[in-house]
Chain A
């Protein structure tokens, strides 16, 4: 594990305010060795990322990111478009492996186990770290088959009855059971957008992952469907570790316990969500969440 700078949540001194608030972007020193402010390390971390650099070909998308993701916590990743938050999220279940020319340096561990070690099987990893995508993407199969797919390929169900039970349980947990129980064998693509996204969540939790990654899960949904998903995230966070990327800052404020702010491929600040939204430490975070130029 690399020795990254760590900060307590303690009270910053007067001069701390001045340093960050007076500075404009050029003299914050973003380009050379920015150090994340806030509480990078936490107790009971599920995932630890240290010194993570991600490259697409020659272009560096992520610069030296250090962060812990707490067990059974929701961490929200916010930041302007192209800041690398999705890239970082996708590196947590190695979805970036599928992209040609994507190279990752650094150390990411789940329960202390190296994610990028050659010994770790990527299929097994993805069973442990599920993912929900920006656009609801149910398979063009029945609702039942969508949810049963994970248990089937991983051989989790011994009998048909087991599988039925798993499907029902997952749909119930995703708050979708009552809406679809009469049409389990109809196409999943025939559901509304919000239902499709909950179906995708049901599909992800059917294999009982430890971590669920969500990449802007509500960006294609209306406010009511969004509220349902947020409610669901809140419920799921009792049993799952959740990392969510979102452009909706109010959403980040509502659903997460910790918030990480990314800017130009760097993790600027990570702090308890209450703090980030009332009194962020870094002026860039402040500018972003208050809707200023910066």
Chain B
């Protein structure tokens, strides 16, 4: 594993500031991860109270985004970071964006959960949500884990897992479409589930972005839009 260190700066405060944005990002990641789990549970368990709490907590995530962005900006203004330091700050600033979007998607899932709970007793589509949700939660957890340890191997592996998620998403879509064709009365309900699945897929993409950022920080290579994943 590459030995990424953000310490040993001649200016000690710089060490602290870099450590701070990392910690804040991890904290935000943890929060978002929890939000995602709760959102998925609220859909699968038809728990509108939980869904309400998810929507409520979304503002915390937004606040953290603002805090981290400000910290990154201050570091750039004060320290003019270069090389790994520069890449870390850039990465954190982008990752914050991804995490915030994940938070947004989790909120969307929660609001769909509330709508679904108001409708008839659920029957079909929840299996797909549960299955896909588990996969996406894993990917996000792995991405955050890889970031905590700056583990390129793990990040690359997670990237491949996301590929798997995309396949599962397509399968789920096909199944949901089948449900709608079988029973047109369920269309409006299935569409809600469709939105949830769609959100999960988006979350997977954001998690993928996180992994790409990790590779960028460690290796200094931008692997976005390249065919490295194969």
Contact = CB atoms under 8 A, between A and B. Distances in A.
Interface of A: 11, 17-18, 21-22, 249-250, 253, 277-280, 285-287, 289-294
Contact of B219 (A17, A280, A291): A17
B217 to A, nearest CB: 10
A294 B5 CA distance: 13
B213 to A, nearest CB: 14
Given A11-B221, A18-B2, A21-B3, A290 B9 contact: yes
A277 B82 contact: yes
Contacts of B11: 291
A291 B2 contact: no
14 contacts: A17-B219, A21-B2, A21-B3, A22-B3, A249-B82, A277-B82, A277-B83, A277-B86, A278-B86, A278-B87, A279-B219, A285-B83, A289-B82, A292-B8
A280 B82 CA distance: 9
Contacts, number: 48
Contacts of B8: 287, 292-294
Given A17-B2, A17-B219, A291-B9, A286 B83 contact: yes
Given A279-B83, A290-B83, 4 more contacts: A21-B2, A287-B8, A291-B9, A293-B8
A291 B83 contact: no
Contacts of A294: 8
B126 interface: no
Contacts of B121: none
Contacts of A278: 82-83, 86-87, 220
A173 to B, nearest CB: 30
Interface in B71-118: 79-87
B179 interface: no
A253 B81 CA distance: 12
A212 B187 CA distance: 75
Contacts of A17: 2, 218-219
A279 B87 contact: yes
B109 to A, nearest CB: 37
A253 B82 CA distance: 10
A293 B46 CA distance: 56
A292 B219 CA distance: 19
B221 A280 contact: no
Nearest to A281: B220
A16 to B, nearest CB: 10
B2 A280 contact: no
Contacts of B83: 277-280, 285-286, 289-290
Given A291-B11, A292-B8, A292-B10, A286 B2 contact: no
Interface in B39-83: 79-83
Contacts of A22: 3
A293 B14 CA distance: 13
A11 B80 CA distance: 26
Of the listed residues B81, B87, B220, the one surrounded by the most CB atoms of chain A closer than 10 A to its CB is B220
Contacts of B80: 250
Nearest to B11: A291
Nearest to B14: A291
A279 B219 CA distance: 8
A259 to B, nearest CB: 11
Interface string B142-157: 0000000000000000
A278 B80 CA distance: 12
A269 to B, nearest CB: 12
